[in-house]
Amino acid sequence: MSTITSPLQPGDQKIVGEALQGALVDLLDLSLLAKQAHWNVIGPNFRQIHLHLDEIVTFARTHADTVAERAVALGVTPDGRASTVAGSSQVPQVEGGYLDAGKVVSAMTDILESIGRRMRERVEATAEADPPTQDILIAVTQDVEKHHWMMQAQR
């Protein structure tokens, strides 16, 4: 079976590959956690949070696909299996069962803050190694920080 050749030197490929795999895990976990809250949220603001969470799911899924396809285009195989996400995610988790609306707002604010922080590190790490990858991670950061503001604003 053939493999994909990389336009990057091995050193850069390693840096960029780690940044993209880390971003993939963050985004897939974000999509799963936002859905989890979308289903289990309870409270007077139910509907606006329920709908807002689905917008987060949508951008998380779209960016996850872009990030993973960028990895494979660089000769790095992305890993988005459940066990990989569960085993390597650094995203703060939410508990099972019903979730109070206020708690969802706090948890999502923390989740987005945590992911945004790591995305900024990846933006910095890839600046020299691969500007096209950095450009993708910048777009992810813009959306993560935008929704962080919108979540935090409703506290």
Report the site for a second copy in 54-83 (rule: CB under 8 A). 61, 64-65, 68-74, 77-83
Is residue 113 within 8 Å of 128, Cβ to Cβ? Answer: no
# chain residues binding a second copy, by CB under 8 A: 78
Residue with tokens 């971003």: 23
CA distance 65 to 121: 20
- In the complex with a second copy, the residue whose CB is nearer, 18 or 139, is 139
CA-only gyration radius of the chain, Å: 16
Q: Which one of 15, 16, 19, 28 is in contact with a second copy (CB under 8 A)?
A: 28
The whole-angstrom separation of Cα 37 and Cα 54 is: 10
Number of H helices, E strands in the chain: 5, 2
Q: Give the footprint of a second copy on residues 80-139 (CB under 8 A).
A: 80-87, 89, 93-94, 96-98, 100, 113, 116-117, 120, 123, 127, 131-132, 134-136, 138-139
Minimum distance between the CB of residue 59 and a second copy, rounded to whole angstroms?
Answer: 14
- The residue within the footprint of a second copy, chosen from 19, 27, 49, 108 (CB under 8 A), is 49
